[in-house]
Amino acid sequence: MDNDNHVETVVMLSHKKTDSVINVKEEFGVGEGKVPLDNIAKRAEAYKPKERVTYKMVKEYIEAKYGFKVHTAYIAEVKRDLGLLMYDAPNAVEELKQPRKHPTPEKVEATKDALKHFEVI
């Protein structure tokens, strides 16, 4: 961003007619009385939402670190056991055709490690 750029923001908080108007002139850049752009970027980064962790990301992490694959149903079961937020699957069925298989303790621990890695837990 050039220091010569002019930035103007207009915000309407109400439908009422204003009693007064306040004009604020702010200069960005380096120097006395100017707002440093680095600080603005750091503050914006702090408010940036975290990336949504997908089952694919968890599966890839487990395969790379532990050398085995886990099924998405195992990841869902671990999340369910931990009481984590679950999203409704668009392809969910009322009744399972086969009983749900439970993950081995090794796969449960690997899944928990992956969820910790991605800061889900």
- 21 inside domain: no
Both tokens of 8, joined, read 């103007």
The pLDDT of residue 12 is 66
Q: What are phi and psi of 88, to 5 degrees?
A: -70, 130
Q: Is residue 70 part of a domain?
A: yes
Count CB-CB contacts under 10 A for residue 4. 6
Q: Domain range for residue 72?
A: 55-117
* 84 belongs to a structural domain: yes
**1 pLDDT more than 60:** no
44 CB burial (10 A radius; 0-12, 13-18, 19+): exposed
Asked whether residue 44 is domain-assigned, the answer is no
Structure letter (DSSP) for residue 34: E
Task: Identify whether 8 is part of a domain.
Answer: no
What's the predicted TM-score (pTM) here?
Answer: 0.58
The conformational region for residue 33 under phi > 0 = left, psi -120 to 50 = alpha, else beta, is: left
Domains identified in the chain, total number: 1
**Mean residue pLDDT across the chain:** 83
Whether 112 is covered by a domain: the verdict is: yes
Among the listed residues 53, 51, 52, the one whose alpha carbon sits nearest the alpha carbon of residue 114: 53
32-89 pLDDT, tens per residue? 877 777 777 788 877 877 788 889 999 999 999 999 999 988 998 999 899 888 877 7
pLDDT > 90 fraction of the chain, expressed in percent and rounded: 27
Longest CA–CA span in the chain (Å) reads: 70
